[in-house]
Structure 1
Amino acid sequence: MGWSLTIGRIAGTDIRLHFTFLLFLVWIGVTDYLVRGAAAALDTVVFILLVFLCVTLHEFGHIAMARRFGIRTPQVILSPIGGIASLERMPEKPVQELLVALAGPLVNVAIAGVLMAGFGLGTSQMTAIDFDNATLAERLLLVNVMLVLFNMVPAFPMDGGRVLRALLAMNMGAPRATALAARIGQGFAFLFVLVGLFYNPILIFVGVFIYFAAASEEQTAAFTGFASRLRVRDAMEPSPVVLAAEDLLSAAVDALLSSPQKEFPVVSQNGQVAGMLDRDAMIIGLRDHGAMAAVGTLMRASEPLLIDQPLVEAFDQIRRAGAKAEVVLDTTGAIVGILSQENIAEMLMIDNARPGWRFRRG
């Protein structure tokens, strides 16, 4: 996610703060300072930081459980509406997803239990706590209980929604389970927006996030459903135009205008893949360096795909690299095609229109 900065790294996972979190913290602190004074402002800021420490521990509950199933988490991002742990992939088995989803709320249960034991707070006392006049420990206790209750709302892709999908997937296929969970999640999203209009504006942002996140998860599940039976050869664009690293940018422009390609493999003098040059880099290079610039100075690094590589795996590789397309090699190392996100999206649209369509392109 852009507009965020790394504040630490734990066990291979970057902890990043979104800039809106900093703005939120400053806004709350300044507002409290103007209304109630410096001491109250400091107390509020400390409380918010402790709340987000609890949120971070919640996310690391997910991360730790996912790691048990061999799934890494490159980063976790904190924003005013909560934390987002960016797992490389979701567990394939429903029971594993169930455990990963429950791990986060269970961390908050543990924190609440520690606070109750450490400060002698009983369950009967919780209902009598006046939040405005409560101690710091009492407020943190209430917040952790609220985090558990809120996160377990079955609004996919929140934790409760992931629990719902995992349970559904035990009795139906993952794509159907995801589609149903996503519809339920989007229903809750509308409810959050409606409640937010009258009570708490933050719920509006939560609702909007849930709606689009659920739609994205549904699309990803639909892709996995149809792509699981395909290889790179089935989706690649064969016989691409190839550029040499020493070619001038003017030659690349000619290739762009005379072919349907938007991304071009670049080879070194010995014929090995040296990189990829896409249309955007070409236009920027033409503007900044002119037509006589060498293609090799403008290309990006390449991670070639193999022609018989599973399509799901290849797509994940392209997505993680932040690329639009990647070159495809055969078993001898020769360039035989290009796999692009755009072409995969077109195949998904075809599969949605005619499920089970047999793609024979390679």
Structure 2
Amino acid sequence: MGWSLRIGRIAGTDIGLHITFLLFLAWIGLADYLVGGTAAAVDAVVFIMLVFLCVTLHEFGHIAMARRFGIKTPTVVLTPIGGIASLERMPDRPGQELLVAIAGPLVNVVIALLLMAGFGLSLSGVLTVDLEQASLAERLLLVNVTLVAFNLIPAFPMDGGRVLRALLAMKLGAQRATSLAAKIGQGFAALFVLLGLFFSPILVLIGVFIYFAAAAEAQSAAFTGFAAKLTVRDAMEPAAIILDESQPLSAAIDALLASPQTEFPVLGTNGRARGLLDRDAMILALREHGEATPISSAMRPAQPLLLAQPLAEAFNSMRSRGANAEVVVDGNGQVVGVLSSGNIAEMMLVNSVRPGWRFRRR
């Protein structure tokens, strides 16, 4: 996620801190300092940091369960509205998704039970406590109880929404279940925004986030259904122009201006795919280094896709690396084209108008 700082790495997962989280901490500290001085500011900041420790442990509950099913999580980012774990992919089976979704709230249940046992607290007592007089342990217990209750609201893509989708998928199939869960999630999002207008701006922020996240999840599920029987061959664009890494950047500029092509495979000295140079990288290199700079210094390394590779697998691989396009090679390692997210989007647009359209194999 953009605007985040990497603060550590645990078991193969990078932990990021979104810049808005730091601004949130500063705002909380300043507000409490103005009301109660240094001691109040320190207490507030420590409390917020402990809350986000609980949120981080919640996310690692999801991460640990996903890892049991062979799913890695490259990053988790802490934001003012919670943690965002970027799973490599969602589980294939509804039962697995159910377990991954419920693992996070279960971590908060365990934390709550430990606080109750360690400090002699009761749930009924904490629910009726005066927050201004509550101890740190009581406030943390209340936070974890709230996290469990809030996350289990069936507002997809929150944990409760993912539980709902998993249960629906057992009867309706993944695509229909996601579509229905997304609509329910967007309904809850509208409700949060409405309540937020009267009670808390935070609810407005959460509602907006849920609305767009649900739409993105529905779009992702639509792609998975669309791409189920397609391969890279079906979606690639033939590469009419292929560059050589030893050529100057001016040759790439000439190729860009002479054709509609915007992504160019780059060959190494052995005639194999060495990199990919797109229009944005080309223009940036031209501005910073000039036309005589070799193409090899402007391209990014290629991670070639195979013609027969499933389209969904190839696209997920590209997305996990933040790549909008990738070189395609045949069984002999010869460059035959480029797979771009733009071309996939156009195919999905056609499919949305004419479902079942038979895309011609190239």
Tell me which residue corresponds to 2:86: 86
Residue aligning to 1:71: 71
After the TM superposition, which of the residue ranges 349-358 and 79-88 deviates more from structure 2? Answer: 349-358
What is the correspondence of 1:329-340 to structure 2 with a 5 Å cutoff?
Answer: 329-340=329-340
- The TM-score normalised by the length of structure 1 is 0.98
- Matching of residue 131 in structure 1 with residue 137 in structure 2: no
Alignment-mate amino acid for residue 200 of structure 1: S
CA distance in 1 between counterparts of 2:81 and 2:264 reads: 41
Question: Helix, strand or coil for the counterpart of 2:229?
Answer: coil
Hey, what does 2:320 align to over in structure 1?
Answer: 320
* More off after superposition, 225-234 vs 352-361: 352-361
Q: 1:14 & 1:299 partners in 2: Cα distance?
A: 26
Partner of 1:258: 258
Q: Given that residues 232 and 306 in structure 2 are in contact (C-alpha distance below 8 angstroms), is that contact kept between their aligned partners in structure 1? A: yes
- Give yes or no for contact 1:94–1:169 (8 Å, CA) kept in 2: yes
Distance 2:287 2:7 in 1: 36
The aligned residue for residue 165 of structure 1 is 165
What's 1:304 paired with? 304
Give me the whole-angstrom Cα distance separating, in 1, the residues matched to 2:2 and 2:239. 35
Gaps of 5+ in 2: none
Give runs of aligned pairs for residues 45-194 of structure 1, distance below 5 A.
Answer: 45-194=45-194
Which structure 2 residues correspond to residues 283-298 of structure 1 after superposition, within 5 A? 283-298=283-298
The residue type equivalent to 2:358 in the other structure is R
Letter in 2 for 1:304: P
The answer as to whether partners of 2:60 and 2:104 remain within 8 angstroms in 1 is yes
The CA distance in 1 between the partners of 2:323 and 2:58, in whole Å, is 31
- Name the amino acid aligned to 1:49: M
SS of structure 1 residue aligned to 2:269: coil
Q: Secondary structure at the match of 1:92?
A: coil
After the TM superposition, which of the residue ranges 118-127 and 16-25 deviates more from structure 2?
118-127
In the alignment, the residues of structure 2 paired with residue 314 and residue 124 of structure 1 have an alpha-carbon distance, to the nearest angstrom, of 52
Structure 2 SS opposite 1:229: coil
In the alignment of these two chains, the number of paired residues is 362
Amino acid at match of 2:210: I
1:309-340 Cα offsets, whole Å, 9 max, x none, are: 01011101111221111111000111111100
| One-letter identity of the residue aligned with 1:240 | A
The AA in structure 1 aligned to 2:291 is A
CA distance in 1, matches of 2:350, 2:173: 20
Counterparts of 1:262 and 1:63 in 2: how far apart (Å)? 37
Task: State how far apart, in whole Å, the 1-side matches of 2:296 and 2:239 are.
Answer: 21
Per-residue Cα deviation, 1:283-309 (whole angstroms, up to 9, x for no partner): 112222222222122111110000000
1:248 paired with 2:248, answer yes
Instruction: State the SS of the aligned residue for 1:85.
Output: strand
Which moved further from structure 2: 58-67 or 40-49? 40-49
Whichever residue aligns with residue 66 of structure 2, its letter is A
| 8 Å contact kept, 2:239–2:264 | no
**Aligned structure 1 segments of 4 or more residues deviating by more than 3 angstroms:** none
Give 1:150's aligned amino acid.
Answer: F
What is residue 10 of structure 1 aligned with on the other side? 10
Aligned to 2:346: 346
| CA distance, structure 2, for counterparts of residue 135 and residue 239 of structure 1 | 66
Percent sequence identity is 69
Shift in Å at residue 239 of structure 1? 4.0
Q: Verify the 8 A CA contact 2:127 2:142 in the aligned structure 1.
A: no
CA contact (8 A) 1:240 1:338 kept: no
- Retained in 2: the 8 A contact 1:227–1:311? yes
Query: Cα offset for 1:122?
Result: 2.1
State how far apart, in whole Å, the 2-side matches of 1:290 and 1:43 are.
55
What is the CA–CA distance in structure 2 between the aligned matches of 1:189 and 1:303, rounded to whole Å?
39
Q: CA RMSD in A?
A: 1.1
8 A contact 1:165–1:177 mirrored in 2 = yes
CA shift for structure 1 position 240: 3.0
- 2:357 corresponds in structure 1 to 357
DSSP 3-state at the match of 1:37: helix
**1:51–1:143 CA contact under 8 A, matched in 2:** yes
Once the two structures are superposed, residues 1-44 of structure 1 have per-residue CA deviations (whole angstroms, 9 ceiling, x without a partner) of: 11111222111111111111111101101110111111111111
Q: Does 1:229 find its partner at 2:229? A: yes
Deviations 1:35-56 (A, max 9, x none): 1111111111111111111101
Say whether the 8 Å CA contact 1:236–1:361 is kept in structure 2. Answer: no
Q: CA deviation at 1:272?
A: 1.4
**Letter paired with 1:33:** Y
Q: Aligned-pair distance for 1:242? A: 0.1
State the secondary structure of the residue aligned to 2:8.
Answer: strand
CA–CA separation in structure 1 for the residues paired with 2:292 and 2:361: 36
